[in-house]
Amino acid sequence: METSRPSPPDHRRAQQKPPEAQIKTKTTDWTILQQPPLKKKKKQCIIKKHSKCRDVPRKDHSGANSLSP
C-alpha cells in the first residue's frame, strides 16, 4: 500500500515536465534566430559601409545567393 501513495506525487511531478515544452519552443526560436543572421548581417553591412555596401548587395544577390545555401 505504501507504493500506492508515492504514485500520486509522481503525477504532480509530471506537471513539472510541461516546462520542457517551453524549452522546445526556445530551441525552435534558436533555429529561427540562426537563419535571420544572414539578413541581419547584410543590414549591418549597409549601415557600416553605407554607399560601398549598396554596390556590393547588387552583386551579392546574384552570387551570394548561391553561396549562402
What the block records as the C-alpha cell of 54 is: 549598396
Long-range contacts: 6-12, Cβ < 8 Å, 24+? Answer: none
Separation CA 61–CA 7 (nearest Å): 61
> Which tens digit of pLDDT belongs to each residue from 32-64?
555 555 555 555 555 555 555 455 555 555 555
Q: Is residue 5 part of a domain?
A: no
Is 65 inside a domain boundary?
Answer: yes
Other beta carbons less than 10 A from residue 26's beta carbon: 9
Q: Cα–Cα distance between 46 and 27 in angstroms, integer?
A: 29
State pTM to two decimals: 0.12
Gap between the Cα atoms of 19 and 53, Å rounded = 44
30: its cell numbers: 534558436
Does residue 4 form part of some domain?
Answer: no
Residue 56 lies in a domain: yes
The verdict on residue 64 lying in a domain is yes
pLDDT at 54 (0 to 100): 53
Domain count, the chain: 1
Query: What percent of the chain lies above the pLDDT cut of 90?
Result: 0
For residue 57, the enclosing domain spans: 42-69
